[in-house]
């Protein structure tokens, strides 16, 4: 079981250094808010599709997109039914009327959701969290923050495995995990309590182990691997800035 959505592969996107991908994600999110029209939002999504596709992570992105499909559908339904500017009935299903204005707003919200997701996924799906953390610490982020990030990614699988063991142990003592809402509510504490207590007890030992290894030292850490920035990173960075500039100019001058 893994927390991170990162998919290892060897594509132009994966070979890029983490900071360049961070810039791509930031430019993508910024463009999502800069571009106002539905058409321009769709063009932006097409760009993300190309990036994700050539980075060979489109399938994983697809399952994330499907995961928020219900939320996107709620946007369309709710805004289509009740947005204050609704005036033109478009779809009439008996007593239920969907209006054009609201549906367009719902569509824009859904596109915004997918564009924000896609921009972030460019970074998330193609970057090893360890590399990203190292790149950030190299640039002055506190080393303790680096510890926190890496530690979370390691701790979660352990805790999930432990919670499965606790669930088995409690079930063997007769705990019910299915049935009425109250039965399921009552099961929460016996599942959560032992896990929390044991993980908190383990923190003391872990803190000791870290301190004897110099965790409290204030010296800047050195790095095992030198940082590699591939030749195409510069080009990608320039493209990001240019696309963002084009988006801002298009919005201001042409109303994109």
Name the token pair of 42: 């769709």
* Residue 169 lies near other proteins (rule: CB under 8 A): no
| Closest distance to other proteins from the beta carbon of 120 (Å) | 3
Sequence-ordered list of residues with C-beta below 8 angstroms from that of 1, at least 6 positions apart, any chain: 157, 160, 161
Count, residues near other proteins per rule CB under 8 A: 68
Site for other proteins in 55-94 (CB under 8 A): 64, 68, 70-71, 74-75, 77-79, 81-84
The answer to whether 163 contacts other proteins (rule: CB under 8 A) is yes
For position 112 contacting other proteins by CB under 8 A, the verdict is yes
Q: How far apart are CA 120 and CA 57, in angstroms?
A: 13
168 scored as a contact of other proteins (CB under 8 A): no
Residue pair 21/127 in contact by the 8 Å Cβ criterion: yes
Which range touches other proteins (CB under 8 A), out of 44-52, 176-184, 225-233, 245-253? 176-184
Q: Does 7 engage in binding with other proteins (CB under 8 A)?
A: no
- In whole angstroms, the minimum distance from the beta carbon of 99 to other proteins comes to 11
Our finding on whether 132 is near other proteins (CB under 8 A) is: yes
165 binds other proteins (CB under 8 A): no
CA dist 101 and 71 (Å) reads 19
Which residues contact other proteins (rule: CB under 8 A)? 3-6, 64, 68, 70-71, 74-75, 77-79, 81-84, 105, 109, 112-113, 116-117, 120-121, 123-124, 129, 132, 144-145, 147-149, 151-153, 155-156, 159-160, 163, 177, 181, 184-185, 187-189, 191-193, 195-197, 199-204, 206-208, 210-211, 215-216
């Amino acid at each position: 079981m893994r927390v991170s959505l990162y998919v290892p592969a060897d594509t132009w996107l994966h070979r890029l250094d983490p900071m360049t991908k961070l810039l791509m994600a930031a430019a993508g999110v910024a463009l999502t808010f800069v571009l106002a029209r539905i058409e321009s939002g769709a063009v932006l999504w097409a760009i993300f599709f190309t990036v994700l596709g050539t980075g060979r992570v489109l399938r994983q992105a697809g399952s994330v997109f499907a995961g928020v499909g219900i939320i996107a559908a709620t946007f369309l339904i709710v805004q289509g039914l009740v947005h204050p500017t609704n005036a033109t009935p478009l779809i009439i299903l008996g007593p239920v009327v969907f209006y054009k204005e609201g549906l367009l707003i719902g569509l824009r919200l859904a596109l915004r959701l997918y564009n924000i997701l896609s921009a972030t996924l460019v970074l998330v799906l193609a970057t090893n969290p360890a590399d990203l953390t190292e790149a950030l610490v190299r640039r002055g982020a506190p080393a303790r923050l680096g510890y926190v990030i890496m530690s979370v990614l390691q701790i979660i699988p352990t805790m999930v495995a432990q919670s499965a063991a606790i669930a088995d142990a409690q079930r063997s003592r007769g705990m019910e995990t299915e049935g009425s809402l109250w039965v399921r509510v009552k099961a929460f504490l016996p599942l959560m309590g032992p896990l929390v207590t044991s993980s908190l007890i383990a923190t003391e030992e872990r803190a000791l182990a870290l301190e004897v290894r110099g965790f409290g030292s204030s010296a800047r850490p050195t790095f095992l691997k030198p940082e590699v920035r591939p030749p195409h990173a510069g080009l990608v960075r320039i493209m990001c800035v240019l696309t963002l500039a084009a988006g801002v100019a298009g919005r201001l001058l042409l109303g994109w």
